[in-house]
Amino acid sequence: MSQSNPADLVKNAVGIAGGAALIAPAAPLAPPILHGLAGIAVIGFGLFAAGSLVMKGAEALSGMGNSLKQKGAARKSS
């Protein structure tokens, strides 16, 4: 194992403490904001999934009518 440089350890400790000091005033606001963002993401994913299902269903229904016409056209030409 290599020995750690004490100067690097101090720099890392100061960086972590400084970051924590900057975040500390916003800490009470962080959980509601994160929950709100997660809720928006879940709702957005739900809307995307529902829209995809509706589009797939519409394509399937419109494709069923087209496939019947294509089969009939293929029989007439052969």
What per-residue confidence (pLDDT) applies to 1?
41
What per-residue confidence (pLDDT) applies to 52?
92
What per-residue confidence (pLDDT) applies to 66?
59
Q: What tokens does 27 get?
A: 């800490």
What per-residue confidence (pLDDT) applies to 21?
76
What per-residue confidence (pLDDT) applies to 71?
55
Tokens 């720099």 belong to which residue?
11
How open is the CA angle 33-49-47, to the nearest 5 degrees?
A: 50
DSSP structural state of residue 78: -
Domain ranges of the chain: 6-77
Give pLDDT tens digits along the chain (78 positions). Answer: 455 677 777 788 888 888 777 777 777 877 888 888 899 999 999 999 999 999 999 888 887 665 555 555 555 555
Tokens 């995809």 belong to which residue?
52
How open is the CA angle 29-34-39, to the nearest 5 degrees?
A: 130
